Structure 1
Amino acid sequence: MKNTTATPQHDSTTSLRIGVAGAGAIGCTLAATLAHAGETVHLLARGATLQAVQNRGIQLARAEDTIHAPVHAAADGRELGEQDVLFLCTKAHDLAQILPAIKPMVGPHTCIVPLINGVPWWYFQGVPGRLAGRAIESVDPEGALLRAIPSEQVIGAVVFIAAERSAPGAVVSRNPMLLILGELDHTETPRLQRIAAMLNAAGLPARISPRIRDPLWTKIIANLVSNPLSVLSGATLEALFSDPCLLPIVRKQLNEAMALSAAYGARMEFDPAAIIEQAAGMGPIRTSMLQDATLGHPLELAAIGDAVLELARLQEIPMPVTQDILALVHYRDKTARAAQPPHGADK
């Protein structure tokens, strides 16, 4: 495997000021890929990760090589300044906490692209219907995110990146990546096209969806049926979607989640069999929630699980298997935290 630090030639006439808030596995993968392609990247980080990135840049082990990418990193958005595009790559439950830090990075024309797991706070924004404008209480109690982040500046995104931190500022991501982008109101805009073009030029495949909530449901379902069960079982994606002990449980959850997605009018690209086949083909990858559980970090149960049950209650769709699995994971998480003080963590 080759090791490279050189960056390709970059056309400065088309450059964007790119901010990445959150230096976990996804944030570092995105920042390193863009910086290696010659984009100017400003990374909001903290703790050991901030120090490592400031000293050595980001190390990203990919399928074909390992790159070392320098980025501008700081703990406060005031040091990074206003951005043209700001990718939010924190855990969903950390979004409210980073609002003060990212405020100086957001101007009136900044495009905000949340790359987060689970049901996003913006789900009911930009489209008509009886639930239009509603906050998702599980992920945005009392609508704090809705008030702080202008919905007209948000671009919906669905991220398919399998990555794992190996050390502060070092990430392994060897599977194919994909970002799907879409306006919340399902229009197609020049800003959307420009961001997608920038990502594709950097070697990070991106496509535009005219109905962003359709691929979003694919990711919501994939997260729902893999993350919580992985914490209970300790299983990798390959095992979850192929082991004869676990696969029947996964199938039951898939059926519940597919019924819910249909109630919200989602047009799914994949049927349950295709989802199972693709997930099993990911190999011995640990889910992000299993990684967090192993490290004693907070779990994204609100966005990945609780918010789905909230959507189910709004449509009166029963999800008994999912409800039981989430109850077990909540109990496990509660007892683990009672036995051991929480760790500080870089996101």
Structure 2
Amino acid sequence: MNTPPSLPRHVAVMGAGAVGCYFGGMLARAGCRVTLIGRASHVQAIQTRGLHLQTLTFDEHIPLSASDQASAAAGADAVLFAVKSPDTLAAGERLREHLGPGTLVLCLQNGVDNAERLRTVLPDAEVAAAVVYVATEMAGPGHVRHHGRGELVVEPTPQSPALAQALIAAGVPTEISDNVRGALWAKLILNCAYNALSAVGRMAYGELVQRPGVLEVMRDVVAECRAVAAAQGVTVPGDVDAAVRRIAQTMPTQFSSTAQDLKRGKPSEIDHLNGYVVHQGEALGVPTPANRVLWAMVKLVESAPGR
């Protein structure tokens, strides 16, 4: 009889932004030893006051370790990998020398190909993809504000069930799925429908969907994404149209991650969202005009002088 893997004793979070801090904070709140690795401003605040985790059900300061160095992941049984998609390879290379053989690295990132790219720089790690459904933002240094949801869909690997068990015990609904690629595409479609429009309109989801023409644009974006996924041979699970409608209902006050990036003057992940659909469409001969317009608009805002 196979012995189930033991629960992780130490979890590191590489990329301690809103998503990484939320899930790391939930694990730490449940008693897991957690080390957050992120920007110096957040690290200093967390070292001084703990992580301020403000959710829909509690508002607490959670004591845990924090560092701005990848070496803080040394000895971790599992790593929650939550850097922005453009930083995947560079962050993976910084992490590589500090991981033991077979360390589980769980990708909590937007986009559909980050786990594949990460495996190229972490060949000795056990890299698992995950789909993240959570609405969070950094409300200040070391301060995470949670706006809704918080579940994960995780790729099956030898060690992922043990981490899933720890997450569930910490109050994070977690599912192991054999169709994570399809689930990643389902999440990508939601991001393509909302992220660029929220960023360009500077609006939260609930307000966004009430504006003229927005639902029609979303419909066109979703249809193009489905066509590209089908051309790739991907089965997208569930009722995508209902899922798109549900986002505005369950996260009405949430601004997209792209909107948050542009507000802070940071590069966005748009190349890995609508831009990914555009480039895959080009390669497969699938037209994607709605996604192309949204991708181009966000790139224009990113490059605007004085932004």
What TM-score, normalized by structure 2, do the two folds share? 0.91
1:286 maps to which residue? 255
| Counterpart position of 1:155 | 128
The residue correspondences of 1:119-198 to structure 2 (distance < 5 A) are: 119-123=112-116, 145-150=118-123, 153-183=126-156, 189-198=157-166
* Matches of 1:195 and 1:265, distance apart in 2: 30
From the superposition, tell whether residues 167 and 17 of structure 1 become closer, same or farther in structure 2 (CA, over 3 Å): same
Superposed, 1:109-128 pairs within 5 Å as: 109-123=102-116
The CA deviation string for residues 172-199 of structure 1, in whole angstroms up to 9 with x for no partner, is 114121100014xxxxx44121111111
One-letter code of the match for 1:308?
Answer: V
8 Å CA contact 1:21–1:87 kept in 2: the answer is yes
Residue 80 of structure 1: how far off its partner (Å): 4.1
Q: How big is the shift at 1:73?
A: 1.1
- SS of aligned partner of 1:203: coil
Q: Secondary structure at the match of 2:148?
A: coil
**Which whole-Å CA distance do the structure 1 matches of 2:182 and 2:209 have between them?**
22
Q: Give the secondary structure class of the aligned counterpart of 1:176.
A: strand
Cα drift, residue 105 of structure 1: 3.5
Tell me if 1:277 matches 2:245.
yes
Identify the residue that residue 3 of structure 2 maps to in structure 1.
Answer: none
Tell whether the 8 Å contact from 2:14 to 2:36 is kept in structure 1 after alignment. yes
- Paired residues, what number? 301
Identity of aligned residues (%): 29
Whether 1:316 aligns to 2:289 is no
TM-score, normalised to structure 1, is 0.81
Structure 2 gaps of 5+ residues are 1-5
> Structure 1 pair 89/270, CA: closer, same or farther in 2 (3 Å)?
same
- Of the structure 1 ranges 270-279 and 16-25, higher mean CA displacement relative to structure 2 is found in 270-279
State the Cα distance separating 1:169 from its structure 2 match.
0.6
Runs of 4+ in 1 over 6 A off after TM superposition: none
Shift of 1:151: 7.8
Give the Cα separation in 2 of the matches to 1:107 and 1:306.
Answer: 35
Q: 1:127 maps to which residue?
A: none
SS at match of 1:162: strand
Equivalent residues in 2 for 1:61-80 (5 A)?
61-80=54-73
Name the stretch that deviates more: 216-225 or 228-237.
Answer: 228-237
Within the candidate set 101, 104, 122, 1:108 is matched to 101
TM-fit CA distance, 1:227: 0.8
Higher mean Cα deviation, 317-326 or 32-41? 317-326
Give the structure 1 partner of residue 184 of structure 2: 216
Following superposition, the deviation at residue 100 of structure 1 comes to 4.6
Distance 1:91 1:122 in 2: 13
**1:8 matched residue in structure 2:** none
Residue identity in the other structure for 1:315: L
Cα deviation code 1:272-294 (max 9, x no counterpart): 43023211202121111101111
Match of 1:258 among 226, 230, 239: 226
Residue segments in structure 1 that go unaligned for 5+ positions in a row: 1-12, 124-139, 184-188, 341-347
Distance (whole Å) between structure 2 residues aligned to residue 256 and residue 80 of structure 1: 40
Residues in 1 aligned to 2:102 and 2:225: alpha-carbon distance in whole angstroms: 36
Query: Does the CA-based 8 Å contact 1:31-1:71 persist in structure 2?
Result: no
2:7–2:162 contact (8 Å) kept in structure 1 = no
CA distance 1:285–1:223, shift in 2 (3 Å): same
